[in-house]
Structure 1
Amino acid sequence: MVNGTDVIPGGEWLTLPDVAERTGVRITVVKRWLQERELVAVRRGPNNALMVPADFVTDEGPVPALKGTLSVLADGGFSDAEIIDWLHRPDDTLIGGSAIASLREGSKTEVRRRAQEIAF
């Protein structure tokens, strides 16, 4: 099974302190985003640190359309690593070439439709 870390190059991951710095919030807010499933993270690297894909975050916080898509996939039984993999899997039929790129471009309806199809 995929571990969710193979689909994203090393430099495109953020530790929780990196997310806090990028968004200008305290680390406690970043942890709340994880608890409330606005973001997902996996453990990786030599320190086994929790890390978030960089493209899940804007300067203002989590990508707004991400939360609903995360919910659909998690409700369908996807692990956080599988969610990360699915969102980054190349798909030329989506705007931007992947589900996360499409969400960042504002095309959440099509991404959620596809997420529902595979999750249920």
Structure 2
Amino acid sequence: MLMINERVLEFNARWLKDYLDQVGDIEHYEILRHEQHLTIDELEFVTTEIIERKKELEQYKNIIRNFKDYLSQILYLKYVEGYSLEKVADQMKISRGYAAKLHSAFTRHLRKRANNERDTMQ
């Protein structure tokens, strides 16, 4: 089994969660923008929020795009750019098996993290 430093796994879990939260916020505002009952002021507010959050998201993507470790690059290409794991490996010029092992180690970390959070809630 591939061993990855716990801090590296947690760092990647945090930036990926932050990124996905930002995407979810934008999607929420996009849905609100199409609501029929919005006033002009509310529509302007929602539109401004979408524009600002998309700018922030692009800035965030520019930062995470430059992370140098393989795991960060794999996660960026898979979850931000939407590549398959095979395409990620090809793009990075690493073996598909190695990309899969890194991704698997990350998903194991997420499951362990979720189980720990659930246990502390009980």
Using structure 2 for the length normalisation, give the TM-score. 0.24
Specify which structure has the higher proportion of strand: 1
Q: Which has the larger radius of gyration?
A: 2
Specify which structure has the higher proportion of helix: 2
